[in-house]
Structure 1
Amino acid sequence: MTTFIIRRLLQTIVVIFVVTLMVFFIMRTMPGDPVVMYLGPDASKEQIEHYTKEFGLDESLPVQYFRWIGNIAKGEFGESIAYRQDIGPFILERLKVTLTIAIPAFVISVVLGVLLGVIAAIRRGKLVDSIITVMANIGMATPVFWLSILCVYVLSLKLDLLPVQGFTWPSEDLTLSIQKMIMPVSILALGPLAQFARQTRSAMLEVIRQDFIRTGRSKGLKEKTVIYKHALRNAMIPIITLMGMSLGHMIGGSVLIEQVYVIPGMGDMLITSILNKDYQLVQSAVFVIASGVSLCNLLVDIAYGLIDPRIRIS
């Protein structure tokens, strides 16, 4: 198992390195000068040269890249050009906001999605199966951006049930925080919930037809034991894969949700920094997101080995 984890860890490091390399050079190929955008169109040539040197943009691209990577290795993310503050604490604050939205959405989508998928599988061909399948298809096909705006219009503007936008920490006002989180958390969980329901149903249908399930039932085991202890465990491999992908998507792909509900998270910060061509902030934000997604995938690979020992051997 140790060799298996080390091999996956090395692969994760390579992936993160490639992502940092790509985002670094892609940002440099985009039109526009971050120093000019920071100073404004009326900046003098001397000012532009001064700040270009101050931000280290006058050096060659390989030197800039390896200096940035070296600072990252030391835990130094540098200074944002647009915000003129230390990037590390800034990203941490925004990441905490995103996780406050993403983690509840992830838990809801996993619990309800797996439960509905199991119910649909054991009630295959019946009314409840048809309802769950249709609702899952609708959930996967519904555009997040459109649904977010629709919920704001109906629940906030028309019915005045929930706040329109914003974010409040639970430690400041728990009731207001929950009210503001209901819409973004629910909408962020909708797509993954539908995916979990469909994937669980498909995996369960494949497992419950196998011989060991019939053997368990013939031995007199309770139906709940057969379904949840034996069938669901053997159907977990594709579900765990989807868990890793969904959590990574929620962390790095909540841009639309944060834009609609004006949530100061990672997605909102990343959009602003890209528009301002804030190299350091974009690179560091993508590095953090890529590391989070890679960590999720690493945990998924480790979970594979724990559930199915044959994967460790291979």
Structure 2
Amino acid sequence: MLEFLLKRLASIVPTLVFVSILIFGLQQLLPGDPALILAGEEQDPTVVAYLHKKLHLDQPLPVRYGYWVRDVLHGDLGESMRLQQPVSALIAQKLPVTIELSLLAMAVALLVSIPAGIVAAVGRGTAWDYAANAFALWGLSTPNFWLGILMILLFSVQLGWFPASGYVSPFVNLRANLLGMAMPAFVLGNSIAAVLMRHTRSAMLEVLSADYVRTARAKGLSEPVVVLKHAFRNALTPIITLGALELGTLLSGAVLTEQVFTIPGFGKLIVDAVANRDFAVVQGVVLITALAYIVLNLLADLASFLINPRLRR
């Protein structure tokens, strides 16, 4: 276990270095001079020269990259030139909102997809299997923004059960927070549930045909024990990996869903930053997102390592 963990941690460092080079390098390909954009309509030459010096735009690209890495290693992600706030403070404001929405959406997806995938695999070719596949097809085919608008029209405008938009902190009013996050969490969880259900069904079908499952049945074990204890545990590895990737996607910001429900999360922050050439914010958000993906993949590998005894051997 310790050796496995050390190997995975050792692979993170070069990955982060490569990701940081991509983040910094690709952003330089964006058209336009950020100093001219931040200087406003008048574009006073004195202001432009000051911004060039402050942002190190008058330095070669490798030197600018070195300045950025040095600051990041000291916990300084830079300052938003448009909002005049530290990037770390902006991320600290937006990230908890996106984390809450992501966790709620993932909870919805897991509660729906895992039982549906198991039932579809066990009852292959039955009405339950066709119903689960129809649900998966519907979830994959339905655009999130369209489903969100329909839910607002039905549950907010017509029935008045949920607020149409906005965000309330759970520390201010927990009930209002859950009511406001219910619809966007369902919209995001719906599409993820469809993907997870198909993978759960495929993994369970492969495992249910294995020799050890037939042996367990031959020993007289009950069907729930065979399915849940022996089959499902061994089918978890691809499900955990895919779930970690989907959670990483949610943490990177569900742009359209956040826009439809007016949720101040990562999605709106990154869109505004790109539109305004706010390089420091873009770099900070993308770096945190990449780090989240790496950490989630590490946790998924550790979970698979603990669950599957074959990996430990």
TM-score in terms of structure 1 length:
0.94
Q: How does 1:231-250 map to 2 (within 5 A)?
A: 231-250=231-250
Report the residue type matching 2:111 in the other structure.
Answer: V
Q: Is the 8 A contact 1:117 1:198 kept in 2?
A: yes
- 2: distance between equivalents of 1:121 and 1:114? 11
Q: Is the 8 A contact 1:20 1:286 kept in 2?
A: no
**1:90 Cα deviation from its structure 2 partner:** 1.6
C-alpha distance after superposition, 1:261-302 (max 9, x if no partner): 111111110110111111111101100000001111111122
Structure 2 unaligned residues grouped into runs of 5+: none
**Cα deviation digits, residues 204-243 of structure 1 (max 9, x gap):** 1111122211221222222221111100011111111111
Structural mapping, 1:77-92, within 5 Å? 77-92=77-92
- Indicate the structure whose relative CO is greater, using CA pairs within 8 Å and at least 6 residues apart: 1
Which aligned pairs between 1:145-294 and structure 2 lie closer than 5 A?
145-294=145-294
SS in 1 for 2:85: coil
Q: What is the CA-CA distance between 1:252 and the residue it aligns to?
A: 1.0
Unaligned ranges ≥5, structure 1: none
- Alignment of 1:23 with 2:23, yes or no, is yes
- Give distance in 1, aligned partners of 2:67 and 2:10: 22
* Pair 1:133 & 2:133 matched: yes
- Report the Cα offset of residue 33 of structure 1: 2.1
AA partner of residue 144 (structure 2) = V
Aligned mates of 1:225, 1:81 — CA distance in 2: 59
TM-score normalised per structure 2: 0.95
**CA–CA distance in structure 1, aligned partners of residues 296 and 191 of structure 2:** 18
Amino acid of the structure 2 residue aligned with 1:249: T
Residue identity in the other structure for 1:216: A
Q: Is the contact made by 1:4 and 1:312 (CA closer than 8 Å) also made in structure 2?
A: no
Equivalent position amino acid for 1:243 in 2: G
Alpha carbon RMSD of aligned pairs, Å? 1.6
- Displacement of 1:156 in angstroms is 2.4
> Do the aligned partners of 2:117 and 2:197 also contact (CA within 8 Å) in 1?
yes
Aligned length: 313
User: Kindly, what percent of the aligned residue pairs are identical?
Assistant: 36
Q: Which amino acid is 2:180 matched to?
A: K
Name the CA distance, whole Å, in 1 between partners of 2:38 and 2:206. 58
Inter-partner Cα distance in structure 1 for 2:312 and 2:75: 33
2:83 matched to 1:93? no
Inter-partner Cα distance in structure 2 for 1:108 and 1:154: 20
CA separation of 1:80 and 1:48: change in aligned 2, threshold 3 A? same
The whole-number CA distance in structure 1 between the counterparts of 2:121 and 2:309 is: 26
1:26-77 per-residue CA deviation (whole Å, 9 max, x = no partner) reads 2212112222222212121111101221233222211111111111111111
- Which residues of 2 match residues 96-107 of structure 1 at below 5 A? 96-107=96-107
